[in-house]
Amino acid sequence: MSVRRRRPPALVLVAATAALLLFALPLIGLVQRADWAHLLDDLRTPGATEAMRLSLTTSLAATALAVVLGLPLAWVLARTDIPGRAALRALVLLPMVLPPVVGGVALLSAFSRRSPIGSWLFDTFGIQLTFSPAGVVLAEAFVAMPFFVITVEAALRSLDPRYEQVAAGLGATPPQVFRRVTLPLIAPAVVAGAILSWARALGEFGATITFAGNIAGRTRTLPLSIYLQLESDPSGAIALSLVLLLVSFAVLIGLRDRWLGGGRP
């Protein structure tokens, strides 16, 4: 039976319109300020192309790291009853609400060359995470992985366990059950979580600039390049901002039915 839709009260409609304008007006202003005649030229400059190349490679690497580490973590949160699970989930979700700059300071405290872990990595393997592309990947994965974990965890919790029980009853081992039954059933959520993580990693700014710095050709990703060009080249900054806006909008539209619940009732 279809749900009858009522006309909203005037006061509610005014408040909702004001809220929509709060979201829409800045984006409209950004589009209006764009120099469309020279947009492609602004995107083809060496600085812009290098920033886009670096952002694409580091965000994809961060997404891969989020999937490899986040999938077993989501399974632990959804399917086990370990002590302190609520605190563990809060720890996983903390980067979603933590100011990104604070996340960068935390990464510095843990992985800089002055920290025990950072000094050990450098002395043993010659790996320096700060001011390096690897540091960019780590910062992006730190802020992006929670989006993957909560998406996959929700899918695992909503999955009917009888499918896995039947497979186990037929003699399948736990790894076989996960690979042949669980993973195919939650595959849409895995893809959605990976895309959300990638979009978040692509737009990461605060933790990256604090932990990895803003070095041209090495750690200067798209958001950092936009920040730098705001004073010297506003047209280029707006052009790069439009790229991130388009990507973010496309991700939200593409996932509205599967993850955001935007389908028809």
> Would you list the DSSP string of 135-194?
HHHHHHHHHHHHHHHHHHHHHHHHS-THHHHHHHHTT--HHHHIIIIIHHHHHHHHHHHH
Q: Residue 264 has what pLDDT? A: 45
> What CA–CA distance (Å, rounded) separates 213 from 256?
34
Give the residue carrying structure tokens 């052009």.
Answer: 239
Contact 77, 92 (CB under 8 A): yes
- Length of the chain equals 265
Residue 121 has pLDDT above 50, yes or no: yes
> What CA–CA distance (Å, rounded) separates 62 from 19?
33
Confidence bin at 152 (pLDDT 50/70/90): very high
**Greater confidence, 259 or 85?**
85
Q: Residue 254 has what pLDDT? A: 78
Tokens in use for 187? 């595959």
Q: Residue 168 has what pLDDT? A: 83
Confidence bin at 265 (pLDDT 50/70/90): very low
Confidence bin at 257 (pLDDT 50/70/90): low
Q: Residue 199 has what pLDDT? A: 93
How much is the average pLDDT of 129-155? Answer: 95
Q: What dihedral angle (degrees, nearest 10) is formed by the CA atoms of 232, 236, 242, 243?
A: -120
Residue 6 has pLDDT above 50, yes or no: yes
Percent of the chain predicted with pLDDT > 90: 66
Percent of the chain predicted with pLDDT > 70: 94
Which pLDDT tens digit goes with each residue over 19-57? 999 999 999 999 999 888 889 999 999 999 999 999 999
Q: Which residues contact 203 (CB under 8 A, 6 or more apart)?
A: 222, 223, 244, 248
Which pLDDT tens digit goes with each residue over 179-230? 888 899 999 999 999 999 999 999 999 999 999 999 988 999 999 999 999 8
Confidence bin at 263 (pLDDT 50/70/90): very low
